[in-house]
Structure 1
């Protein structure tokens, strides 16, 4: 079994900015966990899936994505899941909340993928920059620095991204375009 998750990735310039912050946390606060994945907003949390059945998973996500419209995303400031995680705040829009709920329902009914934790709590879209490996002491040192720090980005996302864990980090496996915004771009990884 392989581990996958489905996310929205910001444009490359915003990924670069987020990666600089992740590296800052790694260097200054020894929190390196966030560097193990590209900057993203998780829609479908990590799940196990047989790699041999990857074509079914990809075909299903392609079908779901083809029925979606692009979604406007606003990133504003920083927030935290105290006392360990600091993240770039994603403003909750009805379109984003609907996309996430629809994807969760679709993967459950069509693929049997269920995340029990997500079913019991509200969706909190975010882009993690300091992961659970941030100690309480380092969180207390870092949070005042980021709590009031200004950040504002706006962009439109037009595709879902499937990420695959290689045993060390998360890598982009494939992307699925929304509506008629081009055909899906697939990045093949060596398996």
Structure 2
């Protein structure tokens, strides 16, 4: 391979993104961490709850990944997600807490199972530990010292949103940040059928 050729693999991950107004509020908090606590790593992606952690995928094989995600999303129903307050993975990560509902746990488990069976895509670490849904606002470049300064400020802070999730999002790494690549809407036909019946 000569240097002028683009790499054949790109990094992706699959997530649930809150509505734009909620993303805006979460981004304000990320910017606060950047300005006050010198932690900007969380600004490299839109606010999200990860379902499938980052993985490498052949660009030529992207149609198969897209087909699998389309197929999966058509079998899902919209559900409510609740963000409530802050929590932490001490001593380096502060996040907006996500209510662990049966629908959220179910979609994550179903997605991982679907990707494994249809694409042989497996994230071994995720298989060996329970799913802990969270929306990160500071991590990686948050020093332990800054963590212990920020945590008392955020541990009892209020942040509450309840909203409908009706799609999953595929994000792609552009070399420095994560961009939205494509979105896959859930099957809302059943709701329409209920209205007609």
Is the 2:78–2:188 Cα contact (8 Å) retained in structure 1?
A: no
Partner residue of 2:90?
A: 82
Tell me which of 117, 122, 127 is aligned to 2:125: 117
Pair member with larger Rg = 2
Please point out which of 81, 99, 104 is paired with 1:96: 104
Specify the alignment match of 1:41 in structure 2.
49
2:152 is aligned with 1:144: yes
**Alignment partner, residue 134 of structure 1:** 142
How big is the shift at 1:180? 3.2
Measure the CA separation in 1 of the matches of 2:97 and 2:71. Answer: 29
Residue in structure 2 matched with residue 175 of structure 1 by the alignment: 183
Shift in Å at residue 92 of structure 1? Answer: 0.2
Cα deviation for residue 56 of structure 1 reads 1.0
Give unmatched runs, 5+ long, in structure 2. 1-8, 190-197
TM-score, length-scaled by structure 2: 0.91
Does 2:37 match 1:29? yes
In structure 1, stretches of 5+ residues that fail to align are 182-191
**Tell me, what secondary structure is at the counterpart of 2:21?**
helix
Q: Where in structure 1 do 4 or more consecutive aligned residues deviate above 4 Å?
A: none
2:64 corresponds in structure 1 to: 56
